[in-house]
A and B are shown apart, each in its own frame.
Chain A
Amino acid sequence: MDSHSSLPPLSRRPLPGRKWQLAALAALLAAVVLIGAALNPAGLLHGSKPFSVRSVQPDPLGTRLSKVYGTSTPARVYGTEIGDLEDLGENTQGQMISDLTPLPASAFIAPVHAYESYSETWLGHVQSDNVGLGAALSAGNVGAAKAAWMRTWADYLHLGAVYLEGPVATLNQEIDGSPGGLPGGTSSPQFTGLHRIEMGLWEGQSPRSLVRFSKQLSVNVAQLQRVVRTVSIPPLDYATRSHEILEDAQRDLMSGMDVPWSGEGVLGMAAGINATDEVLKTLSSILAPRDNVLGQAQGELSILQGAVNRVLREHHGQWPTLDQLTMSQHELLNGTLAGALGALEELPGALETVNIEEIPSIPATHK
């Protein structure tokens, strides 16, 4: 594994806790909140949610704000009553609302640009590692080709989820698409990307017969490099990317579904952790003052990274296939991944860019 494929350790941050973990303490926390409200209403600026960890970790800025950040409510009137209404998702007029003031779409410009730069870097790695893959295939060296495939594929997974329509989605399908859904499945002429090479290598096909797929990969990645800067990622897509990368890793990789031949689900998930960490970094400046989701997500992601590192150590630095995992290793990875997803799921809600609009009623004349 070359240096760019290694996984930099994530910074360890204190784990502030999570909604579900605190759910059993609801009554106690509610009492804390109420007492806090009586003693120091300003201290409840972010403690209005009974289950929120902010009730026990006050925002240091809370007492100095004249206006509650993330809401349009003056701090002096932001008390238990309004906070409770926000928990119910409605305002004082009984209308359905979101609990944070929407962010302007422009807030995402810098994060998306940063992510595009990151993507370009990793696409460069894909190209350079694919050169090695092509060489190993041409030489008929199965062992070297498998190792090169792992590097190339993991490079590509560092890009994270791709949901865009149009040429990017088409190229993604050609580069990393699975045969499921293609007419003819693995026999489909459209099945040409990294997983086609994976199937060939792990099913004992001649490495040289796979060279053409490596060449096609190079062409497709070059094309993706050209278009990646030209597409715009909508704020909602970017916000959901923060948890969907690892959701896909859980569903498609740790289940073995997308890696039926190599079984390299752990490697793929590890790449997803890096991609997710990168997304969080780009969003950190806008997430930091909104709810407490960033710290929770980074904390859980750090635990997941720690679990991967531990399993990797136990396999002497070699990526274990899913079949090589012991039951306890499998449980550790699955469990910490589920924990990370539980924290990451809060991010899109904290990154809202629009107000929730009232749904128009069906015309009375029709009832």
Chain B
Amino acid sequence: MSQVNRRRFLKGSLATVGAGGVGLGAGLSAGGASAKPPDPQQQAQAVLADELATRTPFDGAHQSGILTPPQNQATVVALDSIAPNAQQLFEALQTLSGAARGFTQGEPVPIQEIDDPAPDSGILGAYDAPDALTVTIAFGASLFDGRYGLAKLKPRHLYPMPNFPNDDIDPTRSGGDVLVQVAANHRDTVVHTVRELLRLVAGRLTPRWTLDGFTSAQRGPTPRSSKRNLFAFRDGTGNPDVTDAALMNRLIWIQPNSGEPAWATGGTYQVVRTIRMHVEFWDRVGLLEQENMIGRYRVSGAPLGGTYEFEDPDYPSDPHGKRIPLTAHMRLANPRTPATADQRILRRGFNYHRGIDEAGDLDQGLIFIAYNQDINRQFDTIQRRLAPTEPMTDYITPVGGGYFFAPRGARGEPDWVGSGLSAV
């Protein structure tokens, strides 16, 4: 397979230049009498000693960015393939993984001929520090249409996101052949990664829509406390325990012999919903009504009638909703019954702010991201329970997103996320 990975090519050919300190960059700097150019490796060490040092593996049985605790900043980019054939599509996907592997692990910025475009935008300086970066790659149902002969490999439960009641989905902000979720602790790391990845796959994968997100700061009261969405309520309190491997195998990861194509094993379905939150509306609602809509106290996140966030709401002792209304979001989303236990999803969303709309209202909301083993059994079932009933629907409008499949992790160089597709 021929490579279009310019970055990796340059990295290999120029590594000695950087290490030796006698490359073109060094020569130019030394045009003055004094300074030796800074050694990128030394700079890297300095950087790695600080808050940017956290490194998340790119390779592994499962992709990172799924069970990984959400970082502070994120961008999702949906791409459509314009590759003329499957081979070139695979090359682009391999490039995506190769570059992501490098960025997530940290690497010196390569130096090239001064009269050539720089291989890296350089916005992170001399060293692309890892900064807890994760790049999670997923595929939409449209990738498995007739263009590349991939139809028979389509994951069994992958289908386009349906139009739920109250949805107002904008086609230009939804769908996509490939979805790349880039997340890190600092915005510049995310921006850099998105920029470099798009540059590398240009001509093969083209951006369809994108959205920037962030999480709230960890403001406690405990390190485990869930962060807040832009309705000010804690988000993800009811998530299943990601450290429970058996539970993850039941709820998140595709298992062998589950009826899915073999290449899908170890992957998961990713639901992305851009949910506009009408925050001005919300802010005009009494606190008590807000809490009744959610079923939790705003400050503590405790279920109504409780005292701490992770307390069991004990629905059986409240069959008529005197404590937590029967239409409360938390109650409908997760009724906590044996029959609904296998419907649970892993929520890993980010808040977004994208300016104002034509009416002068803030365009803020949630990049709802959830992972599940079977969208129909899990997310869709929950959504069908929520959509017609919960009062909160008056304050939100889903406007974009899509359903995707995030394959297993890559197995190290030269493997790539989605390599199972090339086994046709």
B284 near A341 (CB under 8 angstroms)?
Answer: yes
Across the interface, which residues of A come within 8 angstroms of B317, CB to CB? Answer: 362-363, 366
B residues less than 8 Å from A330 (CB atoms): 358, 360
Q: Which A residues touch B306, using CB under 8 A? A: 361-362
Does A329 interact with chain B (Cβ within 8 Å)? no
Cβ of A180: which chain B residues have Cβ within 8 Å of it?
167-168
Residue from B166, B288, B303, B361 in contact with A356 in the complex, judged by beta carbons closer than 8 Å: B288
B314 touches A341 (CB 8 A): no
Residue of A182, A322, A338, A361 near B280 (CB, 8 A) is A338
Known contacts A348-B286, A362-B313; decide if A251 and B361 are in contact (CB<8 Å). Answer: yes
Residues of A within 8 A of B164 (CB): 181
Contacts of B311 in A (CB 8 A): 362, 367
How far, in whole Å, are A356 and B288 apart by their CA atoms in the complex? 9
Determine which of A251, A349, A367 lies in contact with B359 in the assembled complex, contact meaning CB atoms within 8 Å.
A251
Partner of B360, one of A181, A338, A359: A338
A338 CB to closest chain B CB, in angstroms?
6
Residue of A nearest to B312 (CB): A366
A349–B314 touching, CB < 8 Å: no
B161-193 to A contact mask, C-beta < 8 Å, 1/0: 001111110000000000000000000000000
Does B163 lie within 8 Å of A181, measured CB to CB?
yes
Number of interface residues, chain B, beta carbon within 8 A: 29
A314, CB-defined interface residue at 8 Å: no
Interface: B319 (CB within 8 A): no
A183 contacts which of B163, B288, B357 (Cβ < 8 Å)?
B163
What residues on B are CB-neighbors of A335 within 8 Å?
A: 360
Instruction: Check if A334 is an interface residue, CB within 8 A of chain B.
Output: yes
Q: Closest B-chain residue to A331, C-beta based?
A: B360
Chain B residues with CB below 8 A from A222, complex form:
none
Contact partners of A253 in chain B: CB under 8 A: 359
How far in angstroms is the closest Cβ of chain B from A290? Answer: 16
Interface 1/0 per residue, B298-323 and A, CB below 8 Å:
00000111100001111001100011
Chain B residues, CB < 8 A from A247: 280-281, 284
Shortest C-beta distance, B278 to chain A (Å), equals 6
Cross-chain contact A341 with B168 (CB below 8 angstroms): no
A181 and B167 within 8 A (CB): yes
Report the minimum CB–CB distance from B26 to chain A (whole Å): 52
Across chains A and B, the number of contacting residue pairs, with CB separation under 8 Å, is 75
- Check A362–B286 contact: CB distance below 8 A: no
Give the docked Cα–Cα distance between A192 and B305 (Å): 46
- What 1/0 flags go to A346-367 for Cβ under 8 Å of B? 0011000000100111110011
Distance, CA A363 to CA B315, complexed state (A): 11
Is A243 close to B, CB under 8 A? yes
A324 contacts B by Cβ under 8 Å: no
Task: Name the residue of chain B whose CB is nearest to the CB of A342.
Answer: B284
Within the assembled complex, what's the spacing in Å between the Cα atoms of A361 and B303? Answer: 10
Can you name the residue of chain A whose Cβ is closest to the Cβ of B276?
A251
For A250, the closest partner residue in chain B by CB is B359
Segment among A34-42, A52-60, A202-210, A254-262 that sits at the interface with chain B: A254-262
CB-based contact B280/A341 at 8 Å: yes
A274 to nearest B CB, angstroms? 19
B325-352 vs A, CB cutoff 8 Å, 1 = contact: the mask equals: 0000000000000000000000000000
Chain B residues, CB < 8 A from A167:
none
Closest approach, in angstroms, between the C-beta of A250 and any C-beta of chain B? 5
Docked complex Cα distance between A341 and B282 (Å): 12
Quick one: CB contact mask for A233-272 with B, threshold 8 Å, 1 for yes?
0000000000100010011011111000000000000000
- CB-based contact A255/B163 at 8 Å: no
Q: How far is it, in angstroms, between the C-alpha of A72 and the C-alpha of B243 when the chains are bound?
A: 55
**A250 CB contact (under 8 Å) in B304, B318, B361:** B361
What is the bound-complex CA distance between A136 and B260, given in angstroms?
Answer: 58
| B173 → A minimal CB distance (Å) | 14
Bound-state CA distance A363–B319 (Å) is 13
Give the distance in Å from the alpha carbon of A2 to the alpha carbon of B167 in the complex.
36
Q: How far is the CB of A44 from chain B (nearest CB, A)?
A: 25
**B357: A residues at CB distance < 8 A:** 255
Return the chain B residue nearest A180 by Cβ. Answer: B168
- Docked pose: A182 CA to B162 CA in angstroms: 11
In Å, the complex CA distance between A96 and B168 comes to: 38
From A181, A243, A360, contact of B168 by CB (8 A): A181
Provide the bound-state CA to CA distance between A185 and B162, in Å.
Answer: 12
- Give complex CA distance A256, B359 in Å: 8
Contact B359 A254 (CB under 8 A): yes
Within the complex, the shortest CB–CB distance from B307 to chain A, in Å, comes to: 8
* CB-based closest 9 A-B pairs: A334-B360, A254-B359, A345-B284, A180-B168, A255-B359, A366-B314, A362-B305, A362-B306, A361-B305
Binding site for B on A (CB under 8 A): 96, 180-183, 185, 243, 247, 250-251, 253-257, 322, 330-331, 334-335, 337-338, 341, 345, 348-349, 356, 359-363, 366-367
- In addition to A362-B314, A363-B317, A366-B317, 10 A-B residue pairs with Cβ atoms within 8 Å of each other are A180-B168, A181-B163, A181-B165, A243-B284, A251-B359, A254-B360, A255-B361, A334-B360, A335-B360, A337-B360
A sample of 18 inter-chain contacts (CB < 8 A) reads A96-B288, A181-B164, A183-B163, A185-B163, A247-B281, A251-B281, A255-B358, A255-B361, A334-B359, A334-B360, A338-B360, A341-B280, A341-B284, A360-B323, A362-B314, A363-B314, A366-B314, A366-B317
